[in-house]
Amino acid sequence: MVVHYCGSNDIGYAYDSWVSYEKVAQNAIDNTRAYVQQLEELWPDVRVLLIGIIAGPKRHEEGNTGYIKAINAGYHKLCLERTTTRRFFDLNPTLSENLDPGDILGQPLRDLYLPDGVHYHPQAYEIFREQLKPAIEQLREESTGLREESTGFREESTGLRVASEGRRPLGGSRHEVPPGL
Amino acid sequence: MRLSRRTREKLQRLHEKGMLLDTLRGVWPQRLQLENRPAMWGELDVAQKVEEPVVLTGSSIMRLWSDAAQHLAPLPLMNRAFGGSCTWNWVRGGGHGEPGRQVAAYHPSGESTIRIPSNYSRTSAPLSHLFPLWFSGGALLRLERHWVRV
């Protein structure tokens, strides 16, 4: 299986160039779709865990969180098109504070970040482990057919937040693609 | 010619990265500063290849997860992310061959066919975005030279 996190640098590219954010956001979604589809063509039973772009302090300072939401919504939609083999996972809620119902990203926990406002202190990856390992294990078990009974979701027992068919994924309806994307 | 503060800041950032002229030519993606180039896929495979792996791909946030193998144990892990990569780098590489094909090759049954998806799209700096700059009488190029002198 493949665990993929990409798109943050696309946002940085838009910030550093004259290419519109809308174009970059749409291309990030299209390219990720192409990558996932390419994997699926070459590796038919591949499972893909797609991680949403994390809105670190730098992205907040740049004022780009709206585009991060748009790209994550696109990623989420991409995964919902094929729920048996693709899952979307958003780490933002566990790396943020001051979350409220109207703001899926909240404010980043700055102590976790290096001074560049993008990358993490090594200890922050403990959160990655805590959050992603159950999701990876679940998806891998499904892919290898070890699961005798497919429960599809283990949010109640593990705090896992994974998009899955018939279940409310992380962020749920708040992951809406804005007009134009 | 008066440039807005935001434009000046962008130009400054591009210049600091040594990429101002490349951006004006619309070739930014080819010159991205990518780290840990997996042109060394082969080298990594010698050291790290495992059976039926969990493959981490993407950009630096994945690449810098140096303890991933320990964190995700006993899952067999291969970290093939590379720093600085954008989404288009994972479709067509940008100096890295075809990452999707490389990753798919870790499929236990192997893979010999290569098909690039038709919906691939790469963001580059289109000239349409830059025409206003080009028509500014080469001032930006002079500005670049000025910065270089400074």
Q: Which of A22-31, A113-122, A131-140, B136-145 has the lowest average pLDDT?
A: B136-145
Helix, strand or coil for residue B54? strand
Quickly state the pLDDT bin for B36 (edges 50, 70, 90): very low
Domain extent listing, chain A? 2-174
| Structure confidence at residue A158 (pLDDT) | 37
| Structure confidence at residue B109 (pLDDT) | 56
| Structure confidence at residue B97 (pLDDT) | 64
Question: How many C-beta atoms surround the C-beta of residue A132 within 10 A?
Answer: 25
CB contact under 8 A, A2 and B103: yes
Classify residue A146 as exposed, middle or buried by CB count within 10 Å of its CB (0-12, 13-18, 19+).
Answer: exposed
Peptide bond before residue B99 is cis, with ω within 30 degrees of 0: no
Question: Which range has highest mean pLDDT (B10-14, B80-84, B106-110)?
Answer: B80-84
Q: Are A3 and A136 in contact (CB under 8 A)?
A: yes
Whether this prediction's pTM lies above 0.80 is answered by: no
Kindly state the average pLDDT of the residues B32-50.
61
Selected residue with higher pLDDT from A139 and B140: A139
Sign of CA dihedral B116, B120, B123, B129: positive
Question: How many C-beta atoms surround the C-beta of residue A139 within 10 A?
Answer: 23
Spell out the residues 6+ positions from residue B54 whose beta carbon is closer than 8 angstroms to its own.
Answer: A1, A2, A3, A136, A140, B72, B75, B76, B77, B78
CB contact under 8 A, B28 and A6: no
| Structure confidence at residue A9 (pLDDT) | 87
User: A54-93 burial by CB neighbour count: b if 16+ within 10 A, else e?
Assistant: bbbbbbbebebbebbbbbbbbbbbbbbeebebbbbbbbbe
In this complex, is the C-beta atom of B126 within 8 Å of any C-beta atom belonging to chain A?
Answer: yes
* Chain segment B44-74, per-residue pLDDT in tens: 776 667 778 899 999 889 989 989 999 998 9
Selected residue with higher pLDDT from A14 and B116: A14
Quickly state the pLDDT bin for B89 (edges 50, 70, 90): confident
Tell me the two tokens of residue A147. 């699961």
Question: How many C-beta atoms surround the C-beta of residue A28 within 10 A?
Answer: 31
Query: What distance in Å separates the CA atoms of residue B80 and residue B96, rounded to the nearest whole number?
Result: 11
Spell out the residues 6+ positions from residue B30 whose beta carbon is closer than 8 angstroms to its own.
Answer: B22, B94, B95
Quickly state the pLDDT bin for A153 (edges 50, 70, 90): very low
Ordered DSSP codes for A55-104: --HHHHHHT-HHHHHHHHHHHHHHHHTTTTTEEEE--GGGGEES-BTTBS
Which chain A residues are within 8 Å of B113, Cβ to Cβ? 41-42
Domain extent listing, chain B? 1-27+125-150, 34-123
Q: What is the total residue count of chain A?
A: 181
Mean pLDDT, chain B, integer: 67
| Structure confidence at residue B124 (pLDDT) | 44
| ipTM for the predicted complex | 0.78
| Structure confidence at residue B17 (pLDDT) | 64
Tell me the two tokens of residue A174. 């708040």
Query: Closest to B123 (Cβ–Cβ): which among A3, A27, A34?
Result: A27
Kindly state the average pLDDT of the residues A5-30.
85
The answer, yes or no, to whether residue A32 has pLDDT greater than 70, is yes
Quickly state the pLDDT bin for A101 (edges 50, 70, 90): low
For B31, which residue in chain A has the nearest alpha carbon? A13
Classify residue B84 as exposed, middle or buried by CB count within 10 Å of its CB (0-12, 13-18, 19+).
Answer: middle
**What CA–CA distances, in Å, run from A150 to A7, A45, A133, B130?**
31, 17, 18, 53
CATH superfamily of A2-174: SGNH hydrolase (3.40.50.1110)
The interface residues of chain B toward chain A in range 80-119, judged by CB-CB distance below 8 A, are 81, 84-91, 99-101, 103-107, 111, 113-117, 119
| Structure confidence at residue A53 (pLDDT) | 93
